[in-house]
């Protein structure tokens, strides 16, 4: 996972050719395959869908989900929206960031974890909320930080 | 005899350890040789009681909550759990939070196995579609119009009129689009339904397709909801396999996943996104009902609106319209969230006051401190002070007080909240999520955030507040969609109702 591989990339692209409004599902699959949307994917997608490279680039960069480089081995999304704010999520988030020594969007130097902001996980009566590798977490406290650290390994 | 034990699989239950509880129950039952069938349901929506475990005894369910994995040993200390256990909450439907509700849209949620068509049918599923087919398309639309159902995404447009417009449009293809891009903080109704009763949405969309003559539907779910995506995707496959969807049924549904753009909850931006483009807002007209997805007539409805339609058809539009107040008919799933003791989903007829919702149902704050502010309707909704707690939950009543009910989210804050920071956040959020198409939203939100920073630092507070107010007027009247157009609601309500949070900075600056 990571570096662009033409055969694998084209296989993913071909699955979506001919589909109505194919670009978003296609990009999701590319990102699942490579961990990000490699720059080499853009001209290949543009060619297959009969779009310009600018159009594909515009879509990739519009959506917060698509990465231009791979994330760490684990991804922690911390909710920063109002319902979690009311449960003092910002103070907790600062503790989490400083524990791992990263800023929003950052990855630890050992590639262990990437921490990202998210605006609502729909866990608004169970805040502060987060998602670790797609697993929902609620009612976080400072005691949750060592648990997260254990979960993602030393 | 096998005893059925119900453990939610809802993300909010999993977030507090429901999977571990389920695993511990399965393991304990195996060790004790108990004949137990574990059923994973959606959530009842009483999130302070999660994980809420229900045990069926003599055909009736008894609840236990909140259960942690560590509690399972004591629950099963003497065989199956009994009402004598300290975590027993009795029959769930007798818990006041549930007993006071009128569950129509969420009637099955938390009760049935979300992926069992047999369960769905046993609890009334399919009756709406059956009746629609008997009535025919025109009478089906008439029934929806009669019910008074309005858009539950927040705009409140009458669903029946939208459907009629699409039905009357001549085209070779038409589409049904479900907006499940539930980005508002404080809301989780779409998520709960996708995870707890996905067939309700499938039935609602099939009815819509039948009524307007569309054979294809899209459900656009945000990527922040991986559990909902998994459950709904599975539900669509089951429905196809069993002929509820597909060629024989005359209707297909495709699940599409968003990519982390709040603005895609705006209907025209959602359509752009479905077409594979940047999620930029379209100018209206043309309305989506005339030129929507791929330029074809399109019904685009909020998930809750569509999932309510089966009940409207099954029991008749008049029965639904008998509930509610003024022009807000039927029920609304109110989502009580934030710093609140009893948070969760409360479906009730329109008309409860905000105070009843926050104090009576929510039970005040989780922190135990006094309630100071309540944001209703998501990040674009106004902040209400206690002095406006007599406002009834109703589209028009909230609009009359410079607010909105939006998608029904109610976020409670205690007295530690700093309203100047909340006003700043509203503008910052707008700048993060702006699609960039119109200038007031794209640039105004950035300048507004900077100006709020100056106010927070105590720089020329009065002049800068006047500037923010002026900017809000520009946003309100000059933006293409509700993102820029409604950002002034939280900002101006914070300034108007909580001037003391801006004033200390005024005084500090004067000294």
Nearest alpha carbon to residue B189 among B262, B104, B300: B104
Q: Does B406 touch chain A (CB under 8 A)?
A: no
The CATH number given to B324-414 is 3.10.20.600
Is the pLDDT score of B509 beyond 70?
A: no
Q: Are B338 and A83 in contact (CB under 8 A)?
A: yes
Model confidence pLDDT, tens digit, residues B338-365:
999 999 999 999 999 999 999 999 999 9
In DSSP notation, A124-150 reads TTS-S-EEETTEEE-S--TTHHHHHHH
Q: Does A5 touch chain B (CB under 8 A)?
A: no
Q: Does A132 touch chain B (CB under 8 A)?
A: no
Please state, as a whole number, how many other Cβ atoms lie within 10 Å of the Cβ of residue B178: 31
| Straight-line distance from the first to the last Cα atom of chain B, in angstroms, rounded to the nearest whole number | 78
Question: Strand B331-338 and strand B409-414: pairing?
Answer: parallel
Is the pLDDT score of A73 beyond 70?
A: yes
Nearest CA in chain A to B258: A24
State whether B338 and A86 contact (CB < 8 Å).
yes
Q: Is the pTM of this model over 0.95?
A: yes
User: Do B324-414 and B419-510 show the same overall fold?
Assistant: no
State whether B183 and A28 contact (CB < 8 Å).
no
Q: Tokens for B65, please give them.
A: 């909550």
Helix axes B159-168, B198-212, angle to 10 degrees: 40
State whether A24 and B186 contact (CB < 8 Å).
no
| B interface test, pick of A22, A81, A86 with most B CB neighbours within 10 Å | A86
In DSSP notation, A35-81 reads SS--TTHHHHHHHHHT--HHHHHHHHHHSTT--SS---SEEEEEE-S
Higher pLDDT, A154 or B340: B340
In DSSP notation, B387-444 reads GGTT-BSSHHHHHHTT---TTSEEEEEETT--HHHHHHHHHHHHHHH--SSSHHHHHH
Nearest CA in chain B to A57: B278
Q: Does B493 touch chain A (CB under 8 A)?
A: no
For residue A118, the cross-strand partners are: A79
DSSP one-letter code for B490: H
Q: Are B416 and B171 in contact (CB under 8 A)?
A: no
State whether B186 and A28 contact (CB < 8 Å).
no
State whether A126 and B366 contact (CB < 8 Å).
no
Model confidence pLDDT, tens digit, residues A8-32:
999 999 999 999 999 999 999 999 9
State whether A118 and B429 contact (CB < 8 Å).
no
Please state, as a whole number, how many other Cβ atoms lie within 10 Å of the Cβ of residue B478: 14
Model confidence pLDDT, tens digit, residues B110-134:
999 999 999 999 999 999 999 999 9
Please tell me the distance from the alpha carbon of residue B123 to that of residue A138, in angstroms, as a whole number: 31
For residue B485, the Cα-to-chain-centroid distance in whole angstroms is 21
Helix axes B137-147, B127-135, angle to 10 degrees: 120
Please tell me the distance from the alpha carbon of residue B372 to that of residue B393, in angstroms, as a whole number: 19
Using pLDDT thresholds of 50, 70 and 90, give the confidence band for residue B505. Answer: low
| B interface test, pick of A25, A31, A36, A83 with most B CB neighbours within 10 Å | A83
Please tell me the distance from the alpha carbon of residue B244 to that of residue B224, in angstroms, as a whole number: 28
Nearest alpha carbon to residue B81 among B60, B64, B98, B94: B64
Please tell me the distance from the alpha carbon of residue A137 to that of residue B14, in angstroms, as a whole number: 7
Q: Are A46 and A52 in contact (CB under 8 A)?
A: yes
Q: Measured between beta carbons, which residues in chain A are less than 8 angstroms from residue B412?
A: 86
- H or E segment at B324? strand B324-325
Size of interface A-B (CB pairs under 8 A): 155
Using CB atoms, pick whichever of A25, A62, A118 lies closest to residue B261. Answer: A62
Q: Are B208 and B299 in contact (CB under 8 A)?
A: yes
The radius of gyration computed from the CA coordinates of chain B, to the nearest angstrom, equals: 24
Q: Measured between beta carbons, which residues in chain A are less than 8 angstroms from residue B411?
A: 82-83, 86, 124
Q: Does B261 touch chain A (CB under 8 A)?
A: yes
pLDDT of B167: 98
Q: Are B317 and B146 in contact (CB under 8 A)?
A: yes
Question: Strand B60-64 and strand B53-57: pairing?
Answer: antiparallel
Q: Are B196 and B162 in contact (CB under 8 A)?
A: no
Is the pLDDT score of B208 beyond 80?
A: yes
Instruction: Name the percent of chain B lying above pLDDT 70.
Output: 98
Using CB atoms, pick whichever of A28, A49, A120 lies closest to residue B224. Answer: A120
Nearest alpha carbon to residue B488 among B423, B431, B401: B423
pLDDT of B91: 97
Using pLDDT thresholds of 50, 70 and 90, give the confidence band for residue A74. Answer: very high
pLDDT of B457: 94
Q: Are B47 and B12 in contact (CB under 8 A)?
A: yes
CATH superfamily of B3-99: Glutaredoxin (3.40.30.10)
Please tell me the distance from the alpha carbon of residue B75 to that of residue B82, in angstroms, as a whole number: 8
Please tell me the distance from the alpha carbon of residue B204 to that of residue B91, in angstroms, as a whole number: 30
Please tell me the distance from the alpha carbon of residue B238 to that of residue B226, in angstroms, as a whole number: 18
Q: How large is the ipTM?
A: 0.97
Is the pLDDT score of B510 beyond 90?
A: no
State whether A86 and B188 contact (CB < 8 Å).
no
Q: Are A126 and A87 in contact (CB under 8 A)?
A: no
Q: Measured between beta carbons, which residues in chain A are less than 8 angstroms from residue B258?
A: 24, 63, 65
Please tell me the distance from the alpha carbon of residue B139 to that of residue B143, in angstroms, as a whole number: 6
Instruction: Name the percent of chain B lying above pLDDT 90.
Output: 97
* CA contacts within 13 A on the Cβ side of A129: 35
> Using CB atoms within 10 A of its CB, is residue A32 exposed (0-12), middle (13-18) or buried (19+)?
exposed
Omega before A59 cis (within 30°)?
A: no
* CA contacts within 13 A on the Cβ side of B314: 19
Is the pLDDT score of A1 beyond 70?
A: no
Q: In what order do the strands lie in the sheet with B298-302?
A: B252-257, B216-221, B175-180, B298-302
Using CB atoms, pick whichever of A22, A82, A118 lies closest to residue B224. Answer: A118
pLDDT of A153: 86
Using CB atoms, pick whichever of B259, B277, B336 lies closest to residue A66. Answer: B259
Is the pLDDT score of A2 beyond 90?
A: no
CATH superfamily of B117-321: NADH-ubiquinone oxidoreductase 51kDa subunit (3.40.50.11540)
Higher pLDDT, B487 or A153: B487
pLDDT of B1: 81
Mean pLDDT of B464-469: 97
Q: Tokens for B467, please give them.
A: 């500037």
Model confidence pLDDT, tens digit, residues B71-106:
999 999 999 999 999 999 999 999 999 999 999 999
Using CB atoms, pick whichever of A55, A59, A126 lies closest to residue B15. Answer: A126
Model confidence pLDDT, tens digit, residues B290-332:
999 999 999 999 999 999 999 999 999 999 999 999 999 999 9
Q: Tokens for B309, please give them.
A: 């339609």
DSSP one-letter code for B44: -
Please tell me the distance from the alpha carbon of residue B182 to that of residue B191, in angstroms, as a whole number: 8
Average pLDDT of chain B is: 97
The CATH number given to B419-510 is 1.20.1440.230
Residue for token pair 């858009």:
B151
Question: Strand B216-221 and strand B252-257: pairing?
Answer: parallel
Model confidence pLDDT, tens digit, residues A26-68:
999 999 999 999 999 999 999 999 999 999 999 999 999 999 9
Is the pLDDT score of B511 beyond 80?
A: no
Model confidence pLDDT, tens digit, residues B424-449:
999 999 999 999 999 999 999 999 99
pLDDT of B508: 60
DSSP one-letter code for B184: -
pLDDT of B506: 57
Q: Which residues contact B423 (CB under 8 A, 6 or more apart)?
A: B452, B468, B490, B491, B494, B495
Q: What is the largest CA-CA distance in chain B?
A: 78
Q: Tokens for B352, please give them.
A: 């409860």
Using CB atoms, pick whichever of A25, A62, A122 lies closest to residue B224. Answer: A122
Please state, as a whole number, how many other Cβ atoms lie within 10 Å of the Cβ of residue B360: 14
Nearest CA in chain A to B188: A122
Nearest alpha carbon to residue A59 among B259, B199, B5, B179: B259
Residue ranges of domains in chain B: 3-99, 117-321, 324-414, 419-510
Please tell me the distance from the alpha carbon of residue B54 to that of residue B86, in angstroms, as a whole number: 14
């Amino acid at each position: 996972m990571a570096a662009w591989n033409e055969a694998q990339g084209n296989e993913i692209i071909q699955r979506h050719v001919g589909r109505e409004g194919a670009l978003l599902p296609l990009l999701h699959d590319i990102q699942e395959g490579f961990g990000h949307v490699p720059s080499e994917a853009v001209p290949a997608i543009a060619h297959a869908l009969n779009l310009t490279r600018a159009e594909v680039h515009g879509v990739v960069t519009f959506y917060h989900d698509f990465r231009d480089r791979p994330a760490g081995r684990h991804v922690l999304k911390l909710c920063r929206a109002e319902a979690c704010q009311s449960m003092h999520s910002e103070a907790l988030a600062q503790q989490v960031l400083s524990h791992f020594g990263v800023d929003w969007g950052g990855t630890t130097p050992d590639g262990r974890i990437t921490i990202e902001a998210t605006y609502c996980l729909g866990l608004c009566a169970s805040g502060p909320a987060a998602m670790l590798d797609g697993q929902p977490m609620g009612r976080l406290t400072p005691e949750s930080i060592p648990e997260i650290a254990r979960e993602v390994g030393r | 005899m096998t005893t059925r034990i119900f453990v939610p699989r809802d993300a909010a239950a999993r977030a507090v350890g429901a999977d571990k509880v389920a695993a511990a129950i399965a393991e304990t039952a195996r060790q004790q040789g108990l004949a137990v069938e574990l059923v994973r349901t959606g959530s009842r929506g009483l999130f302070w009681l999660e994980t809420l475990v229900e045990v069926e005894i003599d055909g009736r369910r008894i609840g236990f909550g909140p259960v942690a994995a560590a509690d399972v040993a004591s629950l099963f200390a003497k065989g199956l759990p009994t009402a004598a256990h300290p975590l027993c909450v009795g029959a769930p439907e007798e818990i006041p939070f549930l007993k006071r509700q009128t569950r129509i849209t969420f009637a099955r949620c938390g009760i049935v196995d979300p992926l069992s068509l047999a369960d769905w049918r046993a609890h009334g599923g399919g009756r709406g579609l059956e009746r629609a087919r008997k009535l025919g398309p025109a009478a089906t639309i008439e029934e929806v119009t009669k019910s008074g159902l309005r858009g539950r995404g927040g705009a409140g447009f009458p669903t029946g009129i939208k459907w009629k417009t699409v039905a009357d449009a001549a085209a070779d293809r038409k589409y049904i689009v479900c907006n499940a891009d539930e980005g508002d903080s404080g809301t989780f109704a779409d998520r709960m339904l996708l995870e707890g009763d996905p067939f309700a949405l499938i039935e609602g969309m099939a009815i819509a397709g039948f009524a307007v003559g569309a054979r294809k539907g899209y459900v656009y779910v945000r990527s922040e909801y991986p559990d909902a995506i998994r459950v709904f995707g599975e539900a669509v496959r089951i429905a196809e396999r069993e002929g509820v969807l597909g060629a024989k049924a005359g209707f297909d549904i495709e699940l599409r996943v968003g990519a982390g753009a709040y603005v895609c909850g705006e209907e025209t931006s959602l359509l752009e996104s479905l077409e594979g483009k940047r999620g930029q807002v379209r100018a209206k007209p043309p309305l989506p009902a005339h030129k929507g997805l791929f330029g074809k007539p399109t019904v685009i409805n909020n998930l809750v609106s569509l999932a309510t339609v089966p009940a409207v058809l099954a029991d008749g539009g008049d029965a639904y319209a008998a509930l509610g107040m003024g022009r807000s008919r039927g029920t609304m799933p109110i989502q009580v969230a934030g710093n609140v003791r009893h948070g969760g989903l409360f479906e009730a007829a329109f008309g409860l006051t905000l105070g009843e919702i926050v104090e009576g149902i929510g039970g005040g704050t989780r922190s135990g401190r006094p309630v100071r502010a309540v944001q209703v309707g998501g990040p674009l909704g106004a902040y209400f002070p206690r002095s406006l707690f007599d406002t009834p939950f109703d589209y028009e009543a909230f609009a009359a007080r410079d607010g909105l009910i939006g998608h029904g989210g109610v976020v409670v804050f205690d007295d530690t909240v700093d309203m100047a920071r909340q006003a700043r956040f509203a503008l910052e959020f707008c700048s993060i999520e702006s699609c960039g198409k119109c200038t007031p939203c794209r640039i105004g939100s950035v300048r507004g955030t900077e100006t709020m920073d100056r106010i927070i630092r105590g720089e020329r507070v009065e002049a800068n507040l006047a500037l923010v107010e002026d900017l809000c007027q520009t946003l309100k009247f000059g933006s293409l969609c509700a993102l820029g157009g409604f950002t002034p609601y939280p900002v101006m309500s914070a300034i108007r109702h909580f001037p003391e949070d801006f004033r200390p900075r005024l005084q500090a600056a004067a000294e």
